[in-house]
């Protein structure tokens, strides 16, 4: 395969489809490259030498399990594009697997940087880092202010019993990768179940909202929210809890989990919660539960990666240290929940 024809992207077939569906859009021969960083679905940058687009498709060999994602992702960005929420402009959805071997969609390419680590933020300086992270909160408030029914997403999920289902789902995920003793994880799961908060009115939730899932422009403003594969209708405070978790310093040298909290100027979790509350008007008094749930969820995800590593099923560096992180996340979850329940 040449670099211009990465696996999973047949540029000739893609060009034929675009010429049929969007005549005049493509001006010259297409080139394409895989964009690194996506954990599940594959993302490619495609250009005709003048304009640029992005193609999203399921991973190679896993079509059936994730084919549904493409339609959902395309649907949610199509619904949100006319609103104030920054998302790329959708171009088309293709469910015909003859074209690329799987369903996929095309959207406009948005210029911007996904900041993944504190080191990447350092050159921005403290004030610009602070502004970028605060704008992350403001953009989340914008997303949660969208009326799902008004944008055609009234049936995008099942908000009733959302938290209970989420908790059960991640409990099952944990059971699927149990091969060692993890002190505290069952205690955390049970305690979360006993203290389940009452959800506010449902909104569109992103499901994986953090700094490296948005593109920040040269003006430090958020140009686009990416990676909508976990999006649904549900409890908006799950997005806030996850964001707060990712903005809490882990206190670990060279953690393989991306966190930007140690960057100079990074706002504190308390400041982010306060800003969200002030701008959204939502009651955030139970945010400790949502943050503890985020710690639990990440502990389960990391344990799954560690489990696959012990079976020799992971490729790449850094996986040998993932297992050591799991107890840290469990402890953070227990502490957060305990302190939150005491305050409550």
> pLDDT grade, residue 62 (50/70/90)?
low
- The two tokens of residue 222 are 């958020």
Among 298, 299, 286, 283, residue whose Cα is nearest residue 340: 286
Are 228 and 77 within 8 A, CB to CB?
A: yes
pLDDT score for 341:
72
Percent of the chain residues topping a pLDDT of 70: 91
Instruction: For residues 317-332, give the mean pLDDT.
Output: 86
Whether pLDDT at 224 is above 60: yes
3-class DSSP state for residue 215? Answer: strand
Tell me which residue has tokens 């297409």.
30
Whether pLDDT at 99 is above 90: yes
Average pLDDT, the chain: 90
Are 223 and 110 within 8 A, CB to CB?
A: yes
pLDDT score for 64:
53
> pLDDT grade, residue 237 (50/70/90)?
very high
Helix 185-194 with 322-343: angle, nearest 10 deg: 30
Instruction: For residues 175-189, give the mean pLDDT.
Output: 93
Whether pLDDT at 316 is above 90: no
In order of their start, the domains of the chain are 11-108 (3.30.200.20), 118-343 (3.90.1200.10)
pLDDT score for 1:
42
Among the residue ranges 23-37, 148-162, 184-198, 267-281, the one predicted with the least confidence is: 23-37
pLDDT score for 4:
59
Where is pLDDT greater, at 4 or 35?
Answer: 35
Distance of CA 269 to the CA centre of its chain: 18
Element (H, E) at 214: strand 214-216
Whether pLDDT at 66 is above 80: no
3-state secondary structure 133-183: HHHHHHHHHHHHHCCHHHHCCCCCCCCCCHHHHHHHHHHHHHHHCCCCCCC
pLDDT score for 253:
63
Are 18 and 25 within 8 A, CB to CB?
A: yes
pLDDT score for 172:
95
3-class DSSP state for residue 55? Answer: strand
pLDDT digits (tens, 9 = 90+) for 290-300: 999 999 999 99
Percent of the chain residues topping a pLDDT of 90: 72
- DSSP per position, 11-72: HHHHHHHHHHHSTTS--S--EEEEPTT-SSSEEEEEE-SS-EEEEEEPPTT-HHHHHHHHHH
Whether pLDDT at 254 is above 80: no
135 exposure class (CB count in 10 Å sphere: 0-12, 13-18, 19+):
middle
Are 296 and 336 within 8 A, CB to CB?
A: no
C-alpha to C-alpha distance for 240 and 284, rounded to whole angstroms: 9
pLDDT score for 63:
47
Residues paired with residue 224 on neighbouring β-strands, in sequence order = 215
Whether pLDDT at 13 is above 90: yes
C-alpha to C-alpha distance for 49 and 331, rounded to whole angstroms: 51
Our CA angle for 314, 316, 320, nearest 5°, is 70
Whether pLDDT at 163 is above 90: yes
């Amino acid at each position: 395969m040449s670099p211009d024809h990465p696996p999973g992207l047949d540029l000739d077939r893609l060009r034929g489809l675009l010429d049929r569906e969007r005549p005049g859009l493509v001006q010259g021969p297409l080139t394409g490259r895989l964009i690194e960083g996506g954990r599940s679905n594959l993302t490619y940058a495609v250009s005709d030498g003048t304009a640029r687009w992005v193609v999203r498709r399921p991973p190679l060999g896993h079509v059936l399990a994730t084919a549904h994602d493409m339609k959902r992702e395309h649907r949610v960005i199509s619904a949100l594009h006319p609103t104030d929420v920054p998302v790329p402009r959708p171009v088309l959805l293709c469910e015909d697997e003859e074209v690329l071997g799987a369903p996929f969609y095309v959207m406009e390419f948005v210029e911007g940087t996904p900041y993944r680590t504190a080191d990447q933020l350092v050159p921005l300086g403290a004030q610009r880092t602070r502004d970028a992270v605060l704008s992350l909160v403001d953009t989340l408030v914008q997303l949660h202010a969208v009326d799902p029914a008004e944008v055609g997403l009234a049936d995008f999920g099942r908000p009733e019993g959302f938290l209970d289902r989420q908790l059960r789902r991640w409990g099952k995920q944990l059971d699927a990768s149990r091969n060692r003793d993890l002190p505290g994880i069952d205690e955390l799961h049970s305690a979360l179940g006993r203290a389940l908060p009452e959800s506010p009115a449902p909104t569109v939730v992103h499901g994986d909202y953090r700094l490296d899932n948005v593109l920040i422009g040269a003006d430090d403003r958020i140009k686009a929210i990416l990676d909508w594969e976990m999006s649904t209708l549900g409890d908006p405070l799950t997005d806030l809890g996850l964001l707060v978790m990712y903005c809490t310093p882990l206190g670990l040298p060279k953690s393989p989990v991306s966190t930007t909290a140690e960057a100079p100027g990074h706002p504190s979790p308390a400041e982010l919660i306060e800003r969200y509350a002030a701008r959204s008007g939502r009651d955030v008094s139970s945010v400790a539960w949502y943050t503890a749930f985020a710690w639990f969820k990440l502990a389960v995800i990391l344990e799954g990666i560690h489990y696959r590593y012990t079976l020799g099923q992971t490729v790449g560096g850094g996986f040998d240290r993932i297992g050591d992180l799991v107890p840290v996340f469990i402890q953070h979850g227990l502490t957060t929940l305990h302190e939150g329940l005491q305050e409550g």
